[in-house]
Amino acid sequence: MKSSPSIRVYRAGFLFAVMLLSAVAAFFLWTEVRTSHEVAARFQESLDRAGLIGRIRVDAISLESAIEAHIRATNDAERQEANEVMEDILADVRDATLAYTRGLPKGEPLVVWERFNMACTRLAEQVRAAAVLSNRQEAERARHHLVEQVRPLAEEIDGLAGHLNRENAEEGRLLLDHLAALRTRNLAFGGAVTLLAMLVSLSVVWRITSVIKRQGKTIQAQMEELDRRNQELDAFTRRVAHDLMGPLSPLKGYLTLLRRSGAVKEPQALELVSLCESSAVRMGELIEALLRFCRAGTRGEPVVGELDTAVSTLLLEVSQTAAAQGVALERELGSGVKVMCPSQLLQIIAQNLLSNAVKYTAGRPDARVSVRVAREGGEAVFEVVDNGMGMSEDTQGKLFQPFFRSPETRGIPGHGLGLATTRRLVEAHEGTLRLHSAPGAGTRVTVRFPLAAEAAPVAQRGAA
């Protein structure tokens, strides 16, 4: 009783360890998914920034080419076309700048980017100024402005763009270092928690194993004590039955002599003597049945017996009683079916089952009892089937209790020890007994023993 709370505590500890391991696994999975998502998002931002910077660098070079085309234009149509190209390029620079600014983290110093952005703004202003000079057909001044103002700004933008790319790459490297450190920290934390859970699990398993071992020893000791007490009880019952048989035998003899001597003349007195003699006989039979029941639970030296031979011997005896009561016997016996049980005990098993089948089938229309002995797999099977009165489920549940008799059979002779003795004999020799019955549908009793030796089956069929 004291171990029950301990088992519950250990079970709770084991469940806690399992939940802890599950939580660690879930934490690892969550952090890995989150980290992977963050890495993917940051790298995508870095790629987008690099792409925007590249667009702006290309636009700066394109602006220089567009202003040169504007200066070389010989008519208004060509100048108008060059103006449209420059405006498209400037609009693209403006869009790329806004997109780059939206992706930047808040609150970070953006010195290089501000210089880059200001350079782009000045470039746009200088390009428009060069376009104005070109529209006035002042080509030389426009070319001079291109060389002195636009190209230096384009070169400055290209240099700042390279600087921004290097900063972007450095930021990506720092991000990777940070994520690697985060993973290392999570791995260390998870490893520590996993180690703790494993230690708790091992401790719980060790404790549970110790408790089970102690309980096993306690149960073994209790079983040995129970077996010892059962043996003492059986020995006491045998002694009591033997002591009862001692005075009962002379009593039966004296009653028989008194009845036969003629000393008692009155019919009523003779009837009383006869009733006493019958009661003494029944008492002797009951004591003999009790002795057989006590001996049935003890297994002696291993002896091989032939189940088919024992059943055949009993069929010779039971067949006369069955014929007298109008019960047909059908048999199907395989030869050489050997089991580890003495032939005398096999005959007691067969006698109890066959006599019960005949007794409770007699008087039924087309009364019939079928007997089968065969091999099935590695087992010997002894089966008795009748079409007698059958029995209810409630009766079947109590059928193997000593001295139990169902209400339907109170008028039929018996002591209520036959099936109990049979079951003890069967189980003492590593066999099983199964009974299936229904009221008015008969009864099927199947006994199975492990085979002791293999032999070629030769069926013997007949009917009596």
428 close to 297: Cβ distance less than 8 angstroms = yes
- Return the pLDDT at 287: 67
- Return the pLDDT at 462: 44
Options 1.10.287.10, 1.20.120.1730, 3.40.50.10490, 3.40.630.30; CATH for 7-206 is: 1.20.120.1730
- CATH 1.20.120.1730 domain position(s) in the chain: 7-206
- Return the pLDDT at 455: 41
Q: Which residues pair with 453 in a beta bridge?
A: 338
pLDDT tens string for the chain (464 positions)?
Answer: 444 455 666 667 667 777 777 777 777 777 777 777 777 777 777 777 778 788 877 877 787 777 777 777 777 787 788 778 878 888 887 787 777 777 565 544 467 777 777 877 887 787 777 777 777 767 777 777 777 777 787 787 778 777 877 777 777 777 777 777 777 877 777 777 777 777 777 777 787 778 788 888 888 888 888 888 877 777 776 676 667 667 777 777 777 777 777 777 777 777 777 778 777 776 776 666 666 666 555 555 677 888 888 888 888 888 888 888 888 888 888 888 888 888 878 888 888 888 888 888 887 888 889 999 998 888 899 999 988 888 877 777 777 777 666 666 665 666 667 778 788 888 888 889 988 888 888 889 999 999 886 543 433 444 44
Within 336-389, strands assigned E span: 338-339, 368-376, 379-386
Q: What is the token pair recorded at 342?
A: 């003495």
Question: How many whole angstroms from its chain centre is CA 150?
Answer: 79
Distance in angstroms (rounded) separating the CA atoms of residues 151 and 155: 6
Question: How many whole angstroms from its chain centre is CA 124?
Answer: 75
Cα–Cα–Cα angle for 222, 223, 224, rounded to 5 degrees: 90
- Return the pLDDT at 448: 92
Beta-carbon contacts of 244 under 8 Å, excluding residues fewer than 6 positions away, are 283, 287
DSSP states of 389-408 as a string? ----HHHHHHTTSTT---GG
- Return the pLDDT at 453: 63
Distance in angstroms (rounded) separating the CA atoms of residues 183 and 180: 5
DSSP states of 210-240 as a string? HHHHHHHHHHHHHHHHHHHHHHHHHHHHHHH
Collect contacts of 187-196 with beta carbons under 8 A, ≥24 apart.
190/24, 190/27, 190/28, 193/20, 193/23, 193/24, 194/21, 194/24, 196/20
Structurally, what CATH architecture does the domain formed by 300-450 represent?
2-Layer Sandwich (3.30)
- CATH 3.30.565.10 domain position(s) in the chain: 300-450
Cα–Cα–Cα angle for 225, 447, 410, rounded to 5 degrees: 85
- Return the pLDDT at 60: 77
Provide the pairing of β-strand 368-376 with 379-386: antiparallel
Is residue 274 helix, strand or coil? helix
Distance in angstroms (rounded) separating the CA atoms of residues 93 and 126: 14
- Return the pLDDT at 414: 60
